[in-house]
Amino acid sequence: MEFLSMSNRAGTLTGALSVALAAVFLAGCGGGEPEEAGPIVRSIKMMEVTSRSTGRRLEYPGRISPIIESELSFEVAGRINYFPVAEGQWMEEGEVIARLDDHNYRAEVTSFQARLNAAQADYDRFKELFAGGAVSQRDLETRQRNFEVAESSLAVAEKALADTELRAHFAGRVARKLANDFQNVVAKEPVVLLQDDRALEIKVDVPERALTADTARLGVENLTRRLSPSVSITSIPGSSFPAKIKEIATAANPATRTFEVTFGFEPEGGVRILPGMTARITVSEPVDDESPERGFVIPSNATAINDSGRSFVWRVDRSSMRTEAVEVELGAVTGANATVTGYLSDGDLIAVSGVQQLREGMQVQRLSEQD
C-alpha cells in the first residue's frame, strides 16, 4: 500500500513536470502572437535632374575630309622619270608634280610636224594649179583634207607631249604618293592624292528623329544660326571650332535610316588638322523657355515603358523616399544619355538603376557609388 502511494505521487509529479515542459516548449516555439515583418526597402542609384534651358545638346561622330580632294593621273602612258614631290608637301596651282619620259612623244611631234609641212606645201601648190585651171575642184579638196588631217594629228601629238607633265590642278597638299619613281604607268592611273586642307568638312549621320519639319523650310544658313554647330577633334582635347551646315541629304540610308549632313569649318589658331582625323559635331537646339516642358538629359536606362506604351521615369519623394511614376516625352538619344521633356522640376530625384523592378509607392534608399 505504501509502495502504491509512493508510485502515485511519483506519477503525479512526472505528469506535472511534463505539462510544465510542454508549456515552456510551446512558448519558445512562438505560441504567442507573431511579430509583423518590416517593409522591404530597395536600394537603387538616383540622380538629381537639372533642366537644360538652353536646349538640347546633341553630338554626332564623324571623320574629317578636305572640301577639295582629287587623285591626279597622267592622261598618257609612260615611265615616270621626274617625281620630286614628298608627301605632305604644299603645291601651288599649276606647279609640276611629275614628268614622264617624253622621248617618244617628242619624236611623234617631229614626225607629224613634217607631215603637216608636206601637206601644207601640197595644198598651196594645188591652190595655184586650181587658179590656173590645171586641176579640178575635187583634187584641190583632197589636198585640203590631207592638210587638215595632218594639222589635227600634230595637235594631238603636241597635246600628248604636254600631258607627259602632271601639274597641280589646284593649290593643295600631296596627301599620298600613289606611284614610285621610274614606274611605268598607264593613262588614268592615279599618281598622287592632292588635298586642299585649308578648308575642311565633316560628314555625320543624323537619325531621322533629329530632323524636324523646319529643317527644309529654314535652309542651311538659318539652321546654322539656330543650332550653332561646332567641331571638336578627338585627338586635340579641348578643341572647338565653329562650323556651318553645308548640305543635308534628303534621302535616308536604307540600312541605318539616317541622313548624311555635311558641315564645313576652317581650323583656327595655327592648329594642324589632317583629313581622316575623327571628330564630333555638337549642335545646341534652343527651346522655348516659357514652355512648361523643360528638357532634361538623363541616362537612357532611367526610362521605362508603361502599359499604355508611354515613356516614364520613377521620381523619388525626398521625405518619404517612395517612388512615383512620371510620364515623359523621349527625345534624342545620344550615346548612353537621352533627352526627355515632361513635368519634372529642377532638383527632382529620379531612379537611374533597377527601374524595371520598381513599383508605384515602393520605398527605396540611395545606393552608394561604391556599391
DSSP of 79-139: EEEE----TT-EE-TT-EEEEE--HHHHHHHHHHHHHHHHHHHHHHHHHHHHHTTSS-HHH
pLDDT value of position 320:
94
Q: Which fold has domain 102-163?
A: Helix Hairpins (1.10.287)
Query: What residues have CB less than 8 Å from 21, skipping those under 6 apart?
Result: none
Instruction: Kindly report the three-state secondary structure assignment for every residue of 185-238.
Output: ECCCCEEEEEEEEEEEEEEEEEEHHHCCCHHHHHHHHHHHHHHCCEEEECCCCC
Which pLDDT value is given to residue 2? 39
| Domain 46-53+290-366, architecture per CATH | Beta Barrel (2.40)
Residues of the chain scoring pLDDT < 70:
1-39, 52-56, 212-217, 285-294, 332-335, 368-371
- Give 173's Cβ-side CA count (13 Å radius): 16
Give residue 371's pLDDT: 52
Q: Using an 8 Å Cβ cutoff, are 78 and 100 in contact? A: yes
Q: What is the pLDDT of residue 294?
A: 53
**Contact, 252 vs 267, CB < 8 A?**
no
Query: What is the structure's pLDDT at 269?
Result: 77
Q: Which pLDDT score is estimated for 253? A: 87
Domain ranges for the chain: 46-53+290-366, 57-66+197-285, 102-163
Cell 593649290, located at residue: 171
What pLDDT is attached to residue 311?
Answer: 92
Is 281 within 8 Å of 62 (Cβ atoms)? yes
C-alpha cell at 282: 555638337
How far is CA 286 from its chain centroid?
Answer: 22
CB atoms within 10 A of CB 245: 23
The domain defined by 57-66+197-285 folds into Elongation Factor Tu (Ef-tu); domain 3 (2.40.30)
pLDDT of residue 13: 39
Can you give the pLDDT at residue 283? 87
